[in-house]
């Protein structure tokens, strides 16, 4: 299992919520969490997309 740092759990949870509604938009997520840049959010989305989990909420 991929370890998720406790300070990044909020970011991963928001990405998972957006993924359930469709394709997560890094611009919207970065606006909701100003601690993360658009590029950082896009990188995390890309990394999560490569995981073999059908439900990403298993990571948290």
Q: Report the distance separating Cα 18 and Cα 21, nearest Å.
A: 5
Q: Is 1's pLDDT higher than 60?
A: no
2-45 pLDDT, tens per residue?
A: 566 777 889 989 998 998 888 899 999 999 999 999 999 999 99
Alpha carbon distances (Å) from 58 to 23, 28, 47, 53: 18, 23, 15, 8
Structure tokens that stand for 43 in this block: 């990188």
pLDDT score at 59:
63
């Amino acid at each position: 299992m991929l370890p998720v740092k406790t300070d990044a759990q909020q970011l991963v949870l928001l990405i998972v919520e957006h993924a359930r509604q469709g394709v997560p938009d890094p611009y919207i997520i970065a606006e909701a969490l100003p601690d993360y840049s658009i590029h950082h959010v896009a990188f995390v989305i890309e990394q999560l997309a490569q995981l073999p989990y059908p439900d990403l909420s298993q990571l948290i």
